Amino acid sequence: MSEKIHKTIIIGSGPAGYAAAIYAARANMEPVVFTGPEPGGQLITTTDVENYPGYPKGIGGPEMMEEFREQAERFGTVVHYEMIAKVDFNTGKDYHTIYTESDEAYHAYTIIISTGASAKYLGLESEKRLMNKGVSACAVCDGFFYKGLEVAVVGAGDTAAEEATYLAKLCPKVHMLVRRDEMRASKIMQKRVENSPNIEVYWNTETEEVLGDDKVTGVRVFNNKTNEKKDIAVEGFFVAIGHKPNTGIFKEILDMDETGYLMAEPGTTKTNVAGVFVSGDAQDKVYRQAVTAAGTGCMAALDAERYLVENELA
């Protein structure tokens, strides 16, 4: 049991968490990072990152996150490879308490939440096996690798519509697989899909299997009204069926929207609890990029620093 009261504890170790740590460490806030179950976050499951400024030749996702961690540690960030299981943001004191999975308590005047979100997948064995070998959950991240090639997009929400239209600018043909006879996406996004001549929408269509041994070569789909099966030759398979923010431990403690994304005071990273800040994908269902996550991580560290000063806790 650690009785020390830290200035700031950061929960999560993706671009948001480490950017917050770099800023907090350089402001002498001696941050402690709890990495969570996937140190480095979603980028750990990515191959090449080519859209993060400062890497003109691109960089592997895991390698980039190693560099984020090194940069944070260089200024004194302490990294714990542990998961936070429980939080107490109502201690009645001027600090908050968080508990690791082994029930060890840590106290801090400020908490920065950077727990991220996880992409939802269909749950097929073939989808898992071909992950990063043609299967992706982010068109903006990976679309470029499929320039000039045919791809499929699964989903019918705003993300799927956005990804399909994004890919339609790079690929000769985008096969959009929609499981019902209508789309959930907003009217304007649907219009964009309709206005893209190289997007073919397959209604009432579900995925049976992603095809390929070492890389994606196609997708086997079936029509859930007629049961008719069909193989479509594609080299990229983009799953766009939504994300789940990793915010379960904050339920009924912090304000969140109906899908679990934490809500910050507009223009800030402040949650509804004083001294608790949120950054990255845990509060962002629209942009979801490494660079935007890092940006909000920086904002959270600056907001936390101001909070410490204003409350004479630093």
Known catalytic residues are: 138, 141-142
Alpha helix segments (H runs only) across the chain: 15-26, 61-74, 125-129, 139-142, 158-168, 187-194, 290-310
In degrees, rounded to 5, the angle at the alpha carbon of residue 215 between the alpha carbons of residues 37 and 65 is 30
Position of minimal CB gap to ligand NDP: 157
To ligand NDP, the closest distance from the beta carbon of 138 in angstroms equals 11
To ligand NDP, the closest distance from the beta carbon of 256 in angstroms equals 13
In degrees, rounded to 5, the angle at the alpha carbon of residue 28 between the alpha carbons of residues 24 and 31 is 50
To ligand NDP, the closest distance from the beta carbon of 273 in angstroms equals 24
- Close Cβ partners of 136 (under 8 Å, ≥ 6 residues apart): 142, 236, 237, 238, 239
CB 43 within 8 A of CB 63: no
To ligand NDP, the closest distance from the beta carbon of 58 in angstroms equals 25
Closest C-alpha among 161, 237, 228, 231 to residue 199: 161
Per the structure block, which two tokens stand in for 41? 């976050």
To ligand NDP, the closest distance from the beta carbon of 180 in angstroms equals 4
- Close Cβ partners of 313 (under 8 Å, ≥ 6 residues apart): 7, 94, 109, 110, 307
Q: How far apart are CA 32 and CA 304, in angstroms?
A: 13
Judged by CB, which is closer to ligand NDP: 25, or 160? 160
Place of tokens 């968490």: 17
Per the structure block, which two tokens stand in for 163? 């990804």
To ligand NDP, the closest distance from the beta carbon of 204 in angstroms equals 10
Exposure of 37 by Cβ count < 10 A (0-12 exposed, 13-18 middle, 19+ buried)? exposed
Q: Which residues bind ligand NDP (CB under 6 A)?
A: 122, 154-160, 162, 179-180, 184, 241-243, 285-286
Judged by CB, which is closer to ligand NDP: 136, or 159? 159
Q: How far apart are CA 25 and CA 77, in angstroms?
A: 6
Backbone φ and ψ for 176, nearest 5 degrees, come out as -105, 120
CB 24 within 8 A of CB 17: no
